[in-house]
Amino acid sequence: MANLKAIRHRIKSVQSTQKITKAMKMVAAAKVRRAQARTLAARPFTKRVISLLKEIVHEVADVDLNEIALLKKRPINTVGLIVISSDRGLCGSYNSVVLRTALERIKNLQAQGKEVKLILVGLKAAGFFRSIKCEKLKNYTLLPAIPTVQEAKLIADQAAEFYINGQVDSVELISTEFINMLRSQVVNTKFLPVELPHSEDDNSLKPQTLFEPSINELLELELVPKYIENVIFQALLDASASELAARMNAMSSASTNANDLIQSLTLTYNRARQASITQELLEVVAGAEALKN
């Protein structure tokens, strides 16, 4: 009877867990649709910014480009690494894949004799790298569930400040790219100095195009800052959608596994109960036979 009681208790415990995983799956499924829509809606703007950069770079001399702080290249001795993770868990391998990729990149850079400094986004990254011997320049945790341009601007401006004042010689961004509900991939983006795309079309700008006050100022004060801000914003959107999709899939798998476990435990319970009843019947028959004799 004690064994039957333990099995009943375990079945109830798994059923309670299954209710939680089903609820989390439904919540993630509702949120991931909106996150996907936000991510896909932001991509055309990024493409347009890149298109403008292609057009303008074609009109600017290399000497002038080198005068812009975020475009200046120098020998790389220190690399800043922006790692974007989530604040919460229960999303399958989403965080572990990002953090493992970041750790491998750190080891590769250190093997090349470069110093690595970290800018961490999300509680999972902050917790994981707490024991790693790398300087942490900045931690961003408990950010709103829905990424905003303000957060992206804050992170981009801070990374740009570290680059301009010489604390780092380049900045890389490790995050996830949302592909669909079932798939996302970790990407390593060269963030700073900005790699300007070169136009392949010699006539990309029309003669009547005017820039005020000047092309250089437009690049330095508007387009380049807007570009790096949008790179971070797009990365945050992709990370949010990838996290929710991963959580939805993880909770779906957990619910399925819980159902399988409940069926297995129920079968075990029924067999144990049947064996217990059979044993009691045998004892009753044996007792009756003993009384006859």
Tens of pLDDT, residues 114-158: 999 999 999 999 999 988 888 899 999 988 888 988 999 999 999
Whether 99 and 128 have beta carbons less than 8 Å apart is answered as yes
C-alpha to C-alpha distance for 78 and 162, rounded to whole angstroms: 11
Give me 70's structure tokens.
């975020």
The contacts of residue 220 (CB under 8 Å, 6+ apart) are 68, 69, 70
What is the predicted pLDDT for the residue at 197? 63
Amino acid at 210: L
Indicate whether 137 belongs to any domain: yes
In this prediction, the residues of the chain whose per-residue pLDDT falls under 50 are 202-208
Closest Cα to residue 234, out of 8, 75, 50?
Answer: 50
Indicate whether 272 belongs to any domain: no
What is the predicted pLDDT for the residue at 108? 93
Indicate whether 291 belongs to any domain: no
What is the predicted pLDDT for the residue at 205? 47
CA 46 to each of CA 109, 112, 196, 227: distance values in angstroms, whole numbers, following the listed order? 29, 33, 13, 8
Task: Say which CATH number the domain at 175 has.
Answer: 3.40.1380.10
C-alpha to C-alpha distance for 11 and 268, rounded to whole angstroms: 11
Indicate whether 271 belongs to any domain: no
Indicate whether 255 belongs to any domain: no
91 is known as an active-site residue = yes
What is the predicted pLDDT for the residue at 86? 92
What is the predicted pLDDT for the residue at 207? 45
What is the predicted pLDDT for the residue at 111? 92
What is the predicted pLDDT for the residue at 159? 92
Tell me the residue range of the domain where 158 lies: 36-198+216-247
Indicate whether 28 belongs to any domain: no
Q: What's the structural domain count of the chain? A: 1
Instruction: Considering the candidates 91, 116, 121, 245, report the single residue annotated as catalytic.
Output: 91
Indicate whether 6 belongs to any domain: no
Indicate whether 274 belongs to any domain: no
- Strand order from edge to edge, sheet including 170-180: 135-140, 115-121, 78-84, 170-180, 183-192
